[in-house]
Amino acid sequence: MHRRASAWFGASFLLACIVSLGIGALVRENLRFDQSFWLISPIVYVVRDQHLRALVPFLTPTLTLVLWLPFALVVVILIHNVRIGTPALSALPEIVAGLFVGGGLANVLEAQMIGSVTDFLGIHGMGTYSAGDIAFDVASSLIPIAVIQIARAQHQPFTHVLQVGAVFYGGVVLFAVASQDYALAILVTLVIGVGAATWLTNRMISPHIHSH
């Protein structure tokens, strides 16, 4: 399982990074700056928007790249240690880590190479997103579910599992609000809602299955 999980990390990392860079290149080649059209009117649209937003003003593209590499290494080591402690765990933590690191790295590399990040997907009232942003947000929205899976694999008490999930859900929402990424706040809430509904459904079905 350890090798399979590592393969999932590598695949999700490469997919997020390469696809994100490729989408950015396609958008720059085929759309003029600020050109846009509706995908789902009047909510979702495609646009070309070049920007260089940073969470902290002093973070230049070069400094961000320098800092991102050790940060990614810390994430990999953390996931590796979790895997050693819970070998039966699913590959979700590795997938989340791969999307997280790969999407973030794509944005950093694009900013370093061309001086800005290429946003292409807009949500009315919520802003625009690059492919790297989307990978990063999907990974972030899955963090509470991944943490819950880790806690369950470690046979933590049910109340502790719920507490851990709630803490990480709150952390992701706070990060989303602080960074004005309201789509992430909505996405993580939907993911948690679907996860909770699935868990409750399985809990209701399980007794009937065992009774037969």
Percent of the chain whose pLDDT exceeds 70: 94
| Per-residue tokens: 11 | 């695949």
Question: Which domain range does residue 22 map to?
Answer: 2-211
Mean pLDDT of the chain: 91
DSSP H or E stretch at residue 159:
helix 158-178
Amino acid at 148: I
For residue 210, what are the CA distances in angstroms to 53, 204, 205, 207? 54, 11, 9, 5
Q: How confident is the model at residue 64 (pLDDT cuts 50, 70, 90)?
A: confident
Q: Look-up: residue for tokens 């719920």?
A: 162
Q: What is the pTM of this model?
A: 0.91
Q: Can you read off the two tokens belonging to residue 177?
A: 């609000």
Question: What is the DSSP secondary structure assignment for residue 127, as one 8-state letter?
Answer: E
For residues 39-52, give the mean pLDDT: 94
What is the number of structural domains in the chain? 1
Query: Facing residues of 122 across strands?
Result: 45, 128
169-184 pLDDT tens trace: 999 999 999 999 999 9
pLDDT at res. 210 = 46
Structure tokens, 152? 């369950």
Average the pLDDT over each of 40-44, 55-59, 89-93, 108-112 and give the range with the smallest value. 55-59
Tens-place pLDDT, residues 77-127? 999 899 888 888 999 999 999 999 999 999 999 999 998 999 999 999 999
Instruction: Specify the pLDDT at position 56.
Output: 67
Dist. CA 114–CA 36, nearest whole Å: 21
Query: What whole-number percentage of the chain has pLDDT above 90?
Result: 73
